[in-house]
Amino acid sequence: MKKLIMLLGPTGVGKTELSINLAEYYKSAIVSADSRQFFRGLEVGTAAPTREQKERVPHFLVGMLDVADYYSASEFEQDAQRIITEQHKTGDVVIASGGSMLYIDALCNGIDEIPTIDDNLRNEVYKLYEEEGLEPIRAQLKVLDPDFYNEVDLKNYKRVIHALEVCLMTGKPYSSFRTRTKKPRPFQVIKIGLKREREELYNRINKRVDEMIRGGLLDEARTFYPQRHLNSLNTVGYKELFKYLDGEWPFDFAIEKIKQNTRIYSRKQMTWFKRDEEINWVNLSEVSGEKALNSIINIIAG
């Protein structure tokens, strides 16, 4: 049976190089499941694969969107499945790699059909968010969909805003569209999770942020500063530097906030992933390099 190997894990754990080594072993392409890498021009801040890495292995769904484009998890599910089906015509194994939890779920399990949001409505809701914060959006969601309000992370502005958008767009509760039915796939999904001991992961994150700064992250942020209101740019690394460019934060403080917020995000990723009993974990604090690769190959072989 054809296989999809979903290599996942928190930011900074070491997915990129290992996914390339794995893809070279199976002569496979790599499908990105990193929602930030979909956008062009954010190569430094998203640790996108370099030109040399893309020459080693073909990468799909990297840098194919403008930062102003809207791209849903449902669209990703369709595009990724199409690519995987095409790649399976010439090989039995395809590698996917990333850490975006919702998009990984969409690829592996399928996602409920959520209505497309009108651009005007989306702009209105985000304008409200920018001018008054999340509280009035939470208040509307509580009235329109109390069931989802009681289960959602109320600090996760993206999920709260999207749920309200659906309620306003359809006149129905967002929760009414969430069937959580796992969709069949024409291939076997094998999930490989990469992890490290927390202190080691945090050190890697801090070091990577420093490397991003040296690699031109501030220049990227400055380039997109006029578009800083876009949802694609409301993400760790850019939003902190926008505050520096606004004159609100000193530069060194903004860098420390990037490190802190990246560490917080890595914890959220691990909390999400730990709920999935289908993940086969490989601890890169215990094995690395060739041993990690061989361990993963053995898991795939069954």
- In this structure, what CATH number is given to the domain that contains residue 295? 3.40.50.300
Give the pLDDT confidence score for residue 54 in this predicted structure: 95
In tens, the pLDDT along 235-287 reads 999 999 999 999 999 999 999 999 999 999 999 999 999 989 999 999 999 99
Give the pLDDT confidence score for residue 179 in this predicted structure: 67
Run of H or E including 4: strand 3-8
Same domain, 167 and 194: no
Q: What percent of the chain has pLDDT over 90?
A: 82
In tens, the pLDDT along 37-73 reads 999 999 999 999 999 999 999 999 999 999 999 888 8
Same domain, 222 and 153: no
- In this structure, what CATH number is given to the domain that contains residue 168? 1.10.20.140
Structure letter (DSSP) for residue 65: B
CA distance 123 to 201: 37
Helices marked H in 49-134: 51-56, 73-87, 101-109, 119-132
Q: Is it the case that residue 111 has pLDDT exceeding 90? A: no
pTM listed for this prediction: 0.84
Specify the higher pLDDT residue, 1 or 238: 238
Give the pLDDT confidence score for residue 128 in this predicted structure: 93
Q: What is the mean pLDDT of residues 173-179?
A: 83
Same domain, 269 and 193: yes
Q: What is the mean pLDDT of residues 155-173?
A: 90
Same domain, 286 and 272: yes
All residues at 6 or more sequence positions from 207 whose CB lies less than 8 Å from its CB, including other chains = none
Run of H or E including 94: strand 93-98
In tens, the pLDDT along 127-141 reads 999 999 999 999 999
| CB environment 32-52: b (16+ within 10 A), e (fewer) | bbbbbbbbebbbbbbbbbeee
Q: What is the mean pLDDT of residues 285-294?
A: 92
Query: What is each CA distance from 85 to 19, 82, 88, 301, in whole angstroms?
Result: 19, 5, 5, 21
Same domain, 197 and 270: yes
What's the domain count of the chain?
Answer: 2
In tens, the pLDDT along 3-38 reads 999 999 999 999 999 999 999 999 999 999 999 999
What is the residue range of 153's domain? 119-177
